[in-house]
Every structure is written in C-alpha cells, then in structure tokens.
Amino acid sequence: MTTKQWDAGHYNDQFAFIWEYGSRVLDLLQPVNGERILDLGCGTGHLTADIAGTGATVIGIDHSADMIDAAKSSYPAIEFHQLDATDFQFDEPFDAIFSNAVLHWVRSPKVAIQRIHAALKPGGRFVAEFGGHGNVGAVVQALIAELERHGYTDAADRNPWFFPSIATYTALLEAHGLEPVMARLYDRPTLLDGGETGLASWLTMFGDSFLHDVPTDVRDTIVNNVAEQLRPSLFRDGNWYADYRRLQVVAHRV
Ligand code: BEZ
C-alpha cells in the first residue's frame, strides 16, 4: 500500500500510534464471531490480530514485504499476503473489509474501490479510516515551501498522498456500487514519538517522496527549517503534534 518499503522494526517502535488509534476504528467495524474479514493494509498485523481475537476469520494484506514478514512472525496463526490495494482478489468473498491509515497512499482510489467491491459479499461492509482533506496540511505546505526555496520547483508534484473530502470519496464509493452509510472528517492532532526529534523522524519515515534525491546536508537544513516554521503551531510541552485530519467511512456493497 505504501510507496516505499518501510522498515517494520522502526514502524513498530516509533509509530505505534497508528494501530493504537486504529483500535477506535475497530469499534466501527464491530467484527462478529465467524465472520470473514479482510484487513487491507495490515502493516505489522496488530489490528489484524485484534480482529482475529473476536472469533472472526481474518486475512491481512499489505504492499510491503517487510511488514508482511513482521506480521507473519508476530502472528503465525493468521493468514497474511503481500498484495497491493489495487491488485488483490480472493476466491471466497468477505463479510467486511477493514482498512486503517492506508488508503491515503493509494493513488488509484477508483481501482482500489473496484477491488473492494469485488471482494465483498452483497450487503458486506467496508469500514475505513485514513487521511482526509487537509490532513497534515501545515506540514505539507511548509515542506513544499522549503523545497521550492532550495530550487526544487517540482516540490508540489512530489506529494504522494490522496487526502479526499467526504464529497469526493463518497461519490467514488457510490459510483462503484458501495453505498456510504457514514462519513466523518475530523481533526486529530497526533502526538509524534521522540520529543524534540519527533517531526524529523516522521519526515524521515514518511517524507521520502519529497526528499529522496535531496543531498543529506540540504535535507537536514530543509527538515530543520520546516521544524522552525511549524514550532509555534505544532510543538508544545516538549512534543510535536502533527495536524492529522481523518476521514472515516462505512459503506455497504449494494
Ligand atoms: C496519515 O496517517 O495520515 C499519514 C501517515 C503518513 C503520511 C501521511 C499521512
């Protein structure tokens, strides 16, 4: 699901908030004993295991081989596959498809929704949360401005993320046979682990599309300048809080 292969150990150590917040999305899924559920973009498998704990039969898929290896080794009793959100299919359909903090990486949302529709039973539910319109807006704006100041005039085109509004995403769902029954866009300022270095770690982990070809010394300057620009709004009491906005959706296959 991701544009690069992440290091699963680093993800587990420093980005635990991703699945910790995801447990709230499980409340929307309400898995039931005996259901067949797909965890789309399962990462290191922690939420997949929580779903399995309800008695549902769950399969986890993720684009990243490293994540899938880590998931398999932590949860050997669960079925995991390395598959992309735009290129998966299973012989047996699912009662529900769940996805947390992944779909903003998928640049072909229409294709992903077509796959989701095809993999659900009629009446089956799709329950997802991911970055919505305006997500990390201040971070992205500051990063693009700094890159442009350093001569990277294509900075805005490097943005790898799809952060849709409710209107955009529910229209896509409806156009592809999924009826939205709930959609919510909300601000969720998110504490980044690491104290003073939290924002730099986040940019190192997730900002690769913007920064991959920037020489290390220039990259360090850009990251420091971004942090100084954002400090008044996103740093308090020794910690960084990224300006996350989440889009939650529940839709049923017609
Ligand atoms: C998010 O979960 O909103 C997110 C994570 C990494 C990069 C961009 C957004």
- Among the atoms of ligand 1, which is closest to the Cα of residue 246? 3
- For 217, the token pair is 């010394």
Residue with tokens 């500051």: 142
In a domain, 217, yes or no: no
In a domain, 150, yes or no: no
- Among the atoms of ligand 1, which is closest to the Cα of residue 244? 3
Question: Residue 14's pLDDT is what?
Answer: 75
Question: Residue 3's pLDDT is what?
Answer: 41
Ligand 1: which residue has its CA nearest to atom 4?
131
Distance 101 CA to ligand 1 centre (A): 7
Mean pLDDT across the stretch 18-25?
A: 84
Question: Residue 21's pLDDT is what?
Answer: 85
**What is the number of domains present in the chain?**
1
In a domain, 1, yes or no: no
Instruction: Indicate if the pLDDT at residue 219 is higher than 90.
Output: yes
- Cβ atoms within 10 Å of 134's Cβ, excluding its own: 16
In a domain, 188, yes or no: yes
In a domain, 215, yes or no: no
CATH number assigned to the domain comprising residue 117:
3.40.50.150
Mean of pLDDT over the chain: 95
Ligand 1: which residue has its CA nearest to atom 7?
206
Confidence class of residue 1 from pLDDT cuts 50, 70 and 90?
very low
Instruction: Indicate if the pLDDT at residue 2 is higher than 50.
Output: no
In a domain, 113, yes or no: yes
Question: Residue 19's pLDDT is what?
Answer: 78
Confidence class of residue 5 from pLDDT cuts 50, 70 and 90?
low
Higher pLDDT, residue 21 or 140: 140
Question: Residue 176's pLDDT is what?
Answer: 98
In a domain, 225, yes or no: no
Mean pLDDT across the stretch 36-44?
A: 97
Does 64 contact ligand 1 (Cβ within 6 A)? no
In a domain, 186, yes or no: yes
Q: How many CA atoms lie within 13 A of 254 on its CB side?
A: 9
Structural domain harbouring 55: 8-136+161-192+243-253
Instruction: Indicate if the pLDDT at residue 172 is higher than 80.
Output: yes
Confidence class of residue 216 from pLDDT cuts 50, 70 and 90?
very high
At 67-113, the pLDDT tens digits run 999 999 999 999 999 999 999 999 999 999 999 999 999 999 999 99
Instruction: Indicate if the pLDDT at residue 15 is higher than 50.
Output: yes
Does 131 contact ligand 1 (Cβ within 6 A)? yes
Beta strands in the chain (DSSP E): 36-40, 57-62, 79-82, 94-100, 120-131, 178-187, 190-192, 235-236, 239-242, 245-253
Please give the radius of gyration of the chain, using alpha carbons only, rounded to the nearest integer: 18
